[in-house]
Amino acid sequence: MNPFRNAKIVLLLIGIVVALLVPIPLLNAQRYAAYSAALQAIGVLFALILAGMALNSDRHDKRVDRVLLLHSELVNGDTQAARIRLIDHLRRWGEGQQVRMVTRDELLNTPGLSSYQDGCRFNPTQDANNVLRFFERANAAVKWSSVYEPLFHRLIIRHARWWDAALQESPETWAGRDALSELTAWGLAYEARHPDLAYLASWQANRDRDFGRVRPAGYAG
């Protein structure tokens, strides 16, 4: 539990005790009983207010923790390894310094593009699916309002916007691609509501460097 919250509860209890004891010499029994009852009612009200504040704080902390766990999953372990392999692969296949944008069919069937060099036991399609499965989970979290949106946008949506450009939609079914599209659309809507976010310009510059002037569907900027 938050130590600051504990301190507030302790101070409230001390204040109630002091308020009950100090007036004893000044009030007769009948007036003190009425005073005590009123004070107790106020104490209950404050206790309820503090309980509500504690509940809201706990909910906020849990939503923040979910964002941090998602971000940790993205930048560590299997998902991170898949991202790095696929990013390096698509850079090698890009023109100049840009990243190659691909569809599922291209990753599956284009000679060279469909496999990694040096006998790697993974392949680009597997890694793309790994990345898309992460964004399925992230999209579900934001749809169920279980994340702290400002932090979620800052830590997750930059990656979603990048992969939305790299892994292109196509007529063939690609499990998880719809979730990435939904997540990108959510990010765009959030940006429309918060157009002054300082980091958006650097995000755009990064995508322009990697892909050129790509604009996702629904982009109004």
pLDDT tens digits, one per residue of 184-206: 999 999 999 999 999 999 999 99
pLDDT tens digits, one per residue of 41-91: 666 666 666 556 555 655 778 999 999 999 999 999 999 999 999 999 999
Q: In this structure, is the dihedral angle defined by the CA atoms of residues 15, 4, 64 and 196, taken in order, positive or negative?
A: positive
Q: Taking a C-beta distance cutoff of 8 angstroms, is the pair 166, 200 a contact? A: no
Burial class (CB in 10 A: 0-12, 13-18, 19+), 163: buried
Of 188, 158, 185, give the one whose Cα is nearest residue 169: 185
CA angle 122, 123, 124 (to 5 degrees): 135
Confidence of residue 17 (pLDDT cuts 50, 70, 90): low
| Per-residue confidence (pLDDT) for residue 212, from 0 to 100 | 86
Instruction: Give the phi and the psi of residue 177 in degrees, each rounded to 5.
Output: -65, -35
Confidence of residue 221 (pLDDT cuts 50, 70, 90): very low
Q: Where are the domains of the chain?
A: 3-58, 76-211
Residue with tokens 């990010």: 187
| Per-residue confidence (pLDDT) for residue 120, from 0 to 100 | 86
pLDDT tens digits, one per residue of 126-159: 999 999 999 999 999 999 999 999 999 999 999 9
Q: What would you report as the CA-atom Rg of the chain, rounded to the nearest whole angstrom?
A: 27
| Per-residue confidence (pLDDT) for residue 176, from 0 to 100 | 87
Q: What is the pTM of this model?
A: 0.73
